[in-house]
Chains A and B, each alone.
Chain A
Amino acid sequence: MCFDAPCTHACPTHIDIPKFIKKISTGNLLGSARTILESNLLGATCARVCPVQELCEGACVLGSEHKPIAIGRLQRHAMDYLKGKKIAIFHPANSTGKKVAVVGAGPAGLSCAGELAKLGHSVTLYEKRELGGGLSTYGIIVLREPIEVALTEVAMIQRLGVRIEIGKEIGIDPTLADLQENFHAVFISIGLGHTRALKIPGEEYVQDGLEYIERSKLKPSQLHVGRNVVVIGAGNTAIDCATIARRLGAERVTMIYRRTENEMTAYPHEYDFVKREGVTFWFLVQPTRVHHENGEVKALECVRMTLGDPDSSGRPFPKPVPGATMLLPADQIVKAIGQNKTSLVSTLNLKTEAGFIHINSDFETSSPGIFAGGDCIRARGSASTVMAVQDGKLAARSIHQRLVNHG
């Protein structure tokens, strides 16, 4: 049990990991869960979806000679103790009389709203979709996180006194101006937009990866899975799509990527995982056309690529090899090549940075009193749930400072 452990440093929310593990070992599961939640209100989701190999477990002092401590699984064990128990872990402080609007009920928004409610602020959370939880609810495959886990977290935030307004999209109702008028501060955590376009003929026959995942979670009976599925992309979402297809009966699942395994954005452990699921990879191929007949996908036409000089991301830029085309038979094609920045950002009239909302070190946007966090600000570094949770937490502290100090 390390002192001042590196896993705690590596965790973006700096959960006191030795402390919560010690509490598990003494049988104090309530205290263990509380320790986790004190640093991370979405500890149950993070226990399931965090890339622990890159964070806490990757930093474990036992990692070099032995296997690291299974921190993620231990955290899940502690958090599962609370399942179905409705224990009030936190109680809101006395009311400060301050009102804060939070836009978007994903991990950043829930974290920020919960932390502010703990401090005694009156928080209203606006969510355009039917359910709170953001990508935890809609975008994480059931294999990793059942939907109940995310919804339980939403309920916990509500029990702290946060009001959630469902079906409210910022810019339409309410507008940012409405929020500025009616609240002492605003926190924007609207995530990202739709999956990028491939811009190839027949794209209308290609399924959106995030929608594919969402249907598998919320309406599994309506999810059609092909027998011969091609997934375009090699990030973590693409791997999730391939996993769903494989586990729901596809005979063959092929992931295609225009660069090589050295450049793919999926975590190494996810790549290992999906290979064991029986998914095959084609590297250095780029889709050029969807072949279809009578509304049914028949094949994906691709061109062979070769790696050129590094591009702005620092990775070698792939170039087509003239004339090297091939036809990949498929009856279903799913794309997961990253999300666009949400178009909302431009309508909010806030300063941006490469399409992301620009913030200062206090998570405040160019407009005073309006703060932001989560994927919509993540211009640098990899976007993840735990980073969004930390954004929400730190932004809540800044907002609290501002509201308390400025009367």
Chain B
Amino acid sequence: MADLSINFSGIRSPNPFWLASAPPTNSGAQIHRAFENGWGGAVWKTIGAPVLNVSNRYGAWRYGNEKMLAINNVELISDRPIEVNLREISEVKRAWPDRAVVVSAMVESKPVAWHDVIRRIQDTGADGIELNYGCPHGMSERGMGSAVGQVPEYCEQITRWVMEVAKIPVIVKLTPNISDIVMPARAAVAAGANALSLINTVNSIIGVDLETLEITPSIGGRGGHGGYAGPAVKPIALNMLAALGRDSIVRGSGLPISGMGGISTWRDAAEFLLLGASSLQICTAVMHYGFRVVEDLCDGLSNWMDEKGFATIPQVVGRSLHHVTDFKDFDLSFKAIARIDQDKCIRCDLCYVACNDSAHQCIDLFDKHGIASPPTAYDQSSNGKVEAISTRPTVVVREEDCVGCRLCFNVCPVENCIHMLPVPSGRPSVTWEELTQKQPEVAEDWKQMERYRQKMGIRIH
């Protein structure tokens, strides 16, 4: 059995799964129940400046059968009095000494306000502090949240104020609503933060009601941008996580990163670990299905680690980072083609239409005599299941024309029916960087490029 415990910049927890600072961590009673369910830690819903909330604060993006592919919220930080929160934090920590209790904070951008809140949090016995520089709605209008996270200088300044009084680990939480995630991370490093976490929610409007023409959800006829989270944001989070892992300053600082953004299953969790996260935070999956999701997060991750021969979480962290590169470092000689397993194919023809309309027109339909036939080639007077099934055309990739774009693979509804088969290209391995250093003219002149292509036997289809 793999050891799932972590030591995240001195914050210990029996597994890497922490509840993110969000509605599930609004009260001590909730966090007690979460810990009873097996959560390794919890980041208390942000405490700080006084606020008032509104109704209809969560919107969701339904897509297909997925009721909450993403959730959008305009809920503010904790609206419970700060004294109540602080009392419950100390109670929870006393009751659960082995779990990570981290407190998220956000106050006005004044040194005294930050000094005060950090000291009060430390008095509870909490294990760490997370600085909320991320909320994109409401608080940002008051100069807090993403208003800080979007300006690296503010990040650095406030983190310095915090570090002046901090005695427990300080995590700086980054907003994704920025053009380069590396900049605020470097600012946090420069200010002496102990760790980073990302991503906070993405700015979004969930939709427009086609009956009332109001924004969804409608807050008394009005609506606006909120923070977007859930499965739909996972690819964005992974990219930002990898960007930090590949930055020499951030990586060189050795600061651990707590990863979040759409983690719903142990598979998602493993991907975040592989790209450099060493603790994991989760919110939307819990908001959808409850605290019980932690059981399979731990069980599935543990089984996968056993299967892969990973004994501890640190052995997994960052293991895939070296596979992440820029386009210029990809091998231009690598070639793959699509191959359809005719025994698995259900003849839905989705690959055909995708290839024909949107890709490179290299999938053909063949009738049972092996003759290429256009769609709907059947006789209009024929009908019935036997006729329809027995005359259904076969989809075949014209391999010499396949560029290996992988669109058919992505649209195929059958698992393992279309394979992307690596094939020898007959060309020596070369990257764009290497090529253009040796032959800069191919990047500047189409004639030179065509000459190069002819020489190398590269066909464009």
Q: Which residues of A contact B (CB under 8 A)?
A: 1-12, 14, 53-55, 58-59, 61-62, 64-65, 387, 390, 394
Contact = CB atoms under 8 A, between A and B. Distances in A.
Contacts of B380: 14, 394
A61 B388 contact: no
Contacts of A3: 348-350, 352-353, 375
Contacts of A55: 383-385
Interface in B321-360: 346-350, 352-353
A64 B347 CA distance: 11
A2 B389 contact: no
5 contacts: A5-B348, A10-B383, A14-B383, A61-B347, A394-B381
B398 to A, nearest CB: 18
Contact of B385 (A5, A59, A65): A59
B387 A10 contact: yes
B349 A9 contact: no
A2 B347 CA distance: 8
Given A4-B353, A12-B383, A390-B383, 8 more contacts: A4-B349, A9-B376, A9-B391, A10-B383, A10-B384, A58-B385, A59-B389, A61-B348
B437 interface: no
B392 interface: yes
Contacts of A53: 385
Contacts, number: 65
Given A4-B375, A6-B392, A54 B384 contact: yes
B382 interface: yes
A19 B381 CA distance: 21
Contacts of B452: none
B363 to A, nearest CB: 11
A54 B383 CA distance: 10
Nearest to A386: B383
Contact of A62 (B346, B349, B382): B346
Contacts of B353: 3-4
Nearest to A381: B384
8 closest residue pairs by CB, A with B: A58-B385, A10-B388, A4-B375, A3-B353, A59-B388, A9-B388, A61-B346, A12-B383
Provide the main secondary structure of the chain B interface. loop
A390 B382 CA distance: 11
Given A11-B383, A12-B383, A6 B389 contact: yes
Interface in B276-333: none
Contact of A9 (B348, B350, B352, B387): B387
B347 A9 contact: no
Interface in B362-417: 375-376, 378, 380-385, 387-389, 391-392
Nearest to A12: B383
Contacts of A390: 383
A394 B382 CA distance: 13
A331 B388 CA distance: 46
A12 B380 CA distance: 8
A54 B346 contact: no
Given A3-B375, A4-B375, A4-B376, A9 B382 contact: yes
B236 to A, nearest CB: 26
Centre residue among A2, A9, A62 by max chain B CB count within 10 A:
A9
A62 B352 CA distance: 18
A114 B346 CA distance: 37
Contacts of B387: 9-10
A7 B350 contact: no
A377 to B, nearest CB: 13
A54 B385 CA distance: 6
Nearest to B346: A61
Contacts of A61: 346-348
B346 A10 contact: no
A8 B349 CA distance: 13
Centre residue among B349, B378, B388 by max chain A CB count within 10 A:
B388
Interface string B46-64: 0000000000000000000
A175 to B, nearest CB: 32
B375 A9 contact: no
A310 to B, nearest CB: 21
Contacts of B376: 4, 8-9
Nearest to B377: A4
Contacts of B346: 61-62, 64-65
A8 B347 CA distance: 13
B101 to A, nearest CB: 45
A106 to B, nearest CB: 19
A394 B383 CA distance: 14
Nearest to A65: B346
B384 A6 contact: no
Contact of A2 (B348, B382, B384, B385): B348
A1 to B, nearest CB: 8
Nearest to B345: A61
Contacts of B381: 394
A64 B384 CA distance: 16
B385 A10 contact: yes
A170 to B, nearest CB: 27
B302 to A, nearest CB: 32
Given A11-B383, A61-B347, A6 B375 contact: no
Given A9-B383, A14-B380, A55-B383, A2 B388 contact: no
A71 to B, nearest CB: 12
Contacts of B350: 1-3
